[in-house]
Structures are given as C-alpha cells and as structure tokens.
Amino acid sequence: MNNPIDLRSRAAHPHGETRRRPAWPFAALVLAGAVLAQPAWAKDAIKVCFVDDRSGAAADTGIQSYNGFQLALAEVNAAGGIAGHPVEAVAYDGKTDPQLTATFASRCAEDDGALAIVGGNPAAPAAAMIPIATEYEIPYLMLSAGTDNLTDAPAPFHFRVGPRNSQDANAIAGLVSTQGFKRVAIINNSLPFGTDSAHAALAALKAKNIEVVAQQTYDINATDLAPQVSTLRNAKPDVVLVFPYAADGARVLRTLQQLGMQTPRIVARSALLSTLRDLAGAASDGVLIPNTVDIHRDDVKRLFEAYKARFGAEQPTMYPVLGYDAAKLVFKALAEPKVLAALDDGELAAARVALRDAIVANGHYAGLQGRTGATYQFSESQRHGPPDDNWFVFVQVTGNGKQLVDADLAAFTPTP
C-alpha cells in the first residue's frame, strides 16, 4: 500500500499518468453520510444492562437470550426509540461466576447509569444480582434461573421472567398423569438445577399419587453413568424423567440407549439447547421436553425468522424469547410518563423507582412465552411472572437430535 510520500512523488513524476486528488473530500463525504444515516436522536440514550453467562458452562442460554434482547433493542430503536431517547445496551459476561456477575451488576447501577438489568439464566449468578438490585434500587429482570425460592420472598426490584423449576415439574407431572404413566424413575445431576428440579418433581408426582420407583443423582464429570442407569432399569419404570445440564444429559440418554432402555423419556428444559441434542444424537430422538414457546404462534414465528436473519437458525426455544420478552417489558415500562419525566429531570434514582412501578402496573403483559392469550402475572406481591396454566408446550426431539417438533402424545404412552 502506498504511503503519502509515494503519492506525492508519483504526482510530481513527469510521466505520471494522473495527478492524485486529495482524499479528504471523499472522507468528509463518507463521514457526512455516516452521520446522516444515523437517526437524529433528540435526547440522551437510555441504558439497559444485560448481565449473563456468555462464555461459561451456561453460555448457550446467555448468548441466545442476549440475541433475543438485541432483537427487541433493534425494534425499539428502529421505531424511534422511547420518546426520542435511543436505547443502548451495556452487556457484561458474568461467566457463571456469582461474584463477577454481582460486580458487573454493581457497575451497571453505579457507573453505567443503567435504568434496569436483564439477565440471569444459571441460578447462582442470577441470585447474586438480587441483593445488588435491592441495594441500588434498580429493576432486575431475571431470565431462566429456575430455583423456586428466588422469588418466594419478593425483593422490591426483582422480577422473574422465566418459569421456576416447580412449574416445569408440575407440567411434567401433569403430562405423566394424563398419559397414564404409573411408575416413574428420576435421574438428575448433583448441581442445584438437577437437585432442585428433582425435588420439585417428587413433590408434584406425590401430589398426583404417582409412584416414584427409583431416583438417582450423578456427578456431571463421570464418564460412565451405567451404575445409576442400571439401578433405574432394575426398578422397571414406565417413564424416565431426566434433570441434567447439556453435556451430562447427553451421556444419560446415551447410557439409557446403551443399556437397552426403550422407556419413554422426558428431559428438562436443558434439552432445548442444541448442545445436549448434538452430543446425544439419535439417543435423544423421541424425548419430550417442556418448552414455554408455542411454535404455532405467528408472532413467535416472526421472531425466529428475524433471529435466523441476524444470528443464524435456532430451534424455537424459551431462551431467545426470554431475552426478547424481558427487554420488551422494560421498554414498555420505560415509555410510561412518570419514568420519562424523571429521566428528563435527570433523576436516575426516581426513574428506576418509576420503572419498577411501571413494570408492576403492566404486570399482565402479553409476551411471546406461553400459549396464545397467556400473560405474565407480575404484581406488587408477586415477582414471578409466568402463570401456572396455559404456559408450557411440550416438544419432541427428532432427526438425530436436530429438530424440535410438536409432541406426538398419542404415541407417548406406557409400553405394554
């Protein structure tokens, strides 16, 4: 590449073909074009933080939710922002580290001047942000962290957008009962998600008088899960419930297949992640998974088409929708007059309180989770949004683990 000295010497050469024009008018034109291409924002940007794991053990969930969040952000800015304010995302990767996640949440509240925090798929880092939200009085919308007790005692600025483990468990127990299964075996990993989910499933099954014939817990790093699976097999269940993380879930399914267990299987929401199904391959085919996204809804289809156009194809699961719905909840509340008035007065603390109040006031928000007509149920005393009914949709794995389709419930019955 020529440098400026070369250019000058060429222009001065008696046999130089042409004299080079100075480059600055072109640069100025490009700059002017770039400036004109941006919306002319009349007001300061409103910042919303996204804090989640995007490189650790639960990275798939955080990445997909952040992608959904960005789609909502692009929509609101394309529509002119919020009363002339552009909305800006400030994103942090908490790496499944509760301490790091809490530090980032503090930074959002203290240094970034964010109006709200969205994030929290894995439970421990998600829980670490709750006291930060309380301390700084900043609304925090938690995503798929499912540990039940996180919203048992409502914290004033905390909202849960995703379902809690007991709701998954109730949905699964309901399906087990409806389909006529009588002998259930449970296998779960020893992490909080696995043990909490299994505990909730035991309670839900007991409430429906369904017998649990075996329960096994395993370490996620064990290469061979045959001892646990053979104990399940010996108990002769007619359905197996699995509460895993992604990679260990694949090992459970492969071991079930290896030990010749053809029993119908239901796997917790972690099987919505392609990682589990990619690793399990054909061993995941036929598995039923509770999802909170109805793939027949037109608005859901539109979201996943937009997702595909921007980030690549993704199966319609709850994780992108959680980020999208949480962002939309915040944006709707941001447009409330009290929030905007506080913002225009430069009163950040008052704007956050008004935003919290607006989220509560808009508590019956109809997002993309749940079946048509279902809405969130936030109120002053309830910070857990998803309702118990009309929320879950079961999907089934097919195509060597590649696809999620409508569950064929007619065939999902006890093997005679």
Q: Answer yes or no whether residue 230 interacts with another protein by CB under 8 A.
A: yes
As measured in angstroms, the least distance from the Cβ of 324 to another protein is 21
Query: Does 147 help bind another protein (rule: CB under 8 A)?
Result: no
Check the CA dihedral 288-290-295-301 and report its sign: negative
Q: How far apart are CA 189 and CA 252, in angstroms?
A: 10
Name which position in 217, 362, 377, 379 contacts another protein (CB under 8 A): 217
Residue 59 or 138 having the CB closest to another protein: 59
| Residue 56 interacting with another protein (CB under 8 A) | yes
Which C-beta is closer to another protein: that of 342 or that of 404? 404
Residues 356-375 contacting another protein, CB under 8 A: none
By C-alpha distance, which of 97, 86, 25, 27 is closest to 62?
A: 97
> Hey, which residues between 174 and 213 contact another protein (CB under 8 A)?
190, 195
| Residue 55 binds to another protein (criterion: CB under 8 A) | yes
Using CB under 8 A, count the residues that bind another protein: 37
Tell me: does residue 228 bind another protein (CB under 8 A). yes
Instruction: Tell me the C-alpha distance between 13 and 178, whole Å.
Output: 89
227, burial (CB in 10 Å: exposed 0-12, middle 13-18, buried 19+): exposed
Site string for another protein, 25-54 (x = CB under 8 A): -----------------------------x
Q: In this structure, what are the phi and psi dihedrals at residue 225, rounded to the nearest 5 degrees?
A: -105, 20
Task: Tell me 384's DSSP state.
Answer: B
- Return the number of the residue (52 or 325) whose C-beta is nearest another protein: 52
How far are the Cα atoms of 144, 216, 384 from residue 149, in angstroms, in the given order?
Answer: 14, 23, 10
Q: Does 346 sit near another protein (CB under 8 A)?
A: no
Binding of residue 166 to another protein (CB under 8 A): no
Q: Where are the alpha helices (DSSP H) in 244-336?
A: 246-258, 274-280, 298-311, 318-334
Integer-rounded Cα radius of gyration of the chain: 25
Q: Verify binding: residue 400, another protein, rule CB under 8 A.
A: no
383 lies in the binding site for another protein (CB under 8 A):
no
